[in-house]
Amino acid sequence: MTKTITLAHGNGGEENNELISKIFYKHFKNDILNKSEDAAILELNGKTAMSTDSFTVSPLFFNGGDIGKLAVCGTCNDLAMMGAKPKYLTCSVIIEEGFSTRELEKIVRSMKKELDINGAMVVSGDTKVVPRGAVDKLFINTTGIGEVEYEGISASNLKEGMSVLVNRDIGAHGATIFSAREGIELESNLETDCASLYPQVKVLIESGIEIVALRDATRGGVSAVLNEWAKASAVCVEIEEEKIPVQESVRGICEMLGFEAVDLANEGTFVLVVPKSDEEKALEVLRKTHESAELIGTVSMQYEGKVILNSSWGTKRFLDLPTGELLPRIC
């Protein structure tokens, strides 16, 4: 590892994985943490999921959301990805001296709206005010606890022949944050995909679909999710490039700035693996919420632990974990 922390260590890619494994996992190692899931499954009274996250997005307000909406969605979505209904959250905030109380209340209202969508509540919290310049306006940490409604979802469950789907078009959050930060004027109405995912997961569960793996594609995007799954299950994930749904405005930003949509962060987009027998039913359910939902690939054993991108030209290339500084401060 490098001797100092760089922005690349927070990108959800190779450097981020190295930081987690060589420092945090090294000292916090236990059977629950080592599963590397979005939320921990705890043996309390029944199955309980728990997750925590911190949010430092810049700018605080962006098209389609703000840091408050992001904080609740981010933690509740991590619970939902483990088949759990979000129930209780803690909320800790670090506020810079001089921050507008009007803007703070606007952010808290956004949090309340997403809590209501999830049927959850904030039950504990903490507030710190620090001198001007000590933080960039406002940081939020949320921890969530949820009741598991569907057991067995895991990154290590993938098997040959299974199908890989996304619930909507990808990369909208990362593209929105970058365009807002850099002042890029767009003719389109591009906005973040930030949304609470539990309602969609609930419908999948109630539809009787077998959910093998489920992960929201936040930092590191879809490519990070697929690589983590391929390694955890010792399989190959083959993706059809032309099947990956990307808005034209997102594609334009990627072409202009040299990004790949599969590497961009999302906050309301998840990747789903189901048995092939359930792929059509799953796609039908997903498209009731987003018409852009798509079947993007399959699980094979061609290259163990690797992700392959098949192009429409008949060529193949490995899709690796993103590296370097992608979009700092996206969540």
- Look-up of token digits 């409604």: 149
- The CATH code of the domain at 31-148 is 3.30.1330.10
Distance CA 38, CA 59 (A): 25
Distances in whole angstroms, Cα of residue 304 to Cα of each of 160, 228, 234, 282: 11, 12, 5, 26
Q: Where are the domains of the chain?
A: 31-148, 163-318
Distance CA 13, CA 217 (A): 12
36 within 8 A of 232, measured Cβ to Cβ:
yes
Longest alpha-carbon distance in the chain: 57
Distance CA 133, CA 15 (A): 27
The predicted-structure confidence for 284-317, as pLDDT tens digits, reads as follows 999 999 999 999 999 999 999 999 999 989 999 9
The predicted-structure confidence for 162-188, as pLDDT tens digits, reads as follows 999 999 999 999 999 988 887 777 667
pTM for the structure as a whole: 0.91
Distance CA 208, CA 215 (A): 19
Which regions of the chain are under pLDDT 70?
186-187, 325-329
317 within 8 A of 260, measured Cβ to Cβ:
no
Radius of gyration (Cα) for the chain, nearest Å? 19
pLDDT of residue 188: 74
Distance CA 173, CA 43 (A): 34
The two structure tokens encoding residue 315: 């060529």
pLDDT of residue 119: 96
Label each residue of the chain as H, E or C. Answer: CCCCCCHHHHCCCHHHHHHHHHHHHHHHCCCCHHHCCCCEEEEECEEEEEEEEEECCCCCEECCEEHHHHHHHHHHHHHHCCCEEEEEEEEEEEEECCCCHHHHHHHHHHHHHHHHHHCCEEEEEEEEEECCCCCCCEEEEEEEEEEECCCCCCCCCCCCCCEEEECCCCCHHHHHHHHHHHCCCCCCCCCCCCCCCHHHHHHHHHCCCCCCEEEECCCCHHHHHHHHHHHHHCCEEEEEHHHCCCCHHHHHHHHHHCCCHHHCCCCCCEEEEECHHHHHHHHHHHHCCCCCCEEEEEEECCCCCEEEEECCCCCEEECCCCCCCCCCCCC
Superfamily covering domain 163-318: PurM-like C-terminal domain (3.90.650.10)
pLDDT of residue 327: 56
pLDDT of residue 32: 86
pLDDT of residue 13: 86
- Look-up of token digits 């190959």: 236
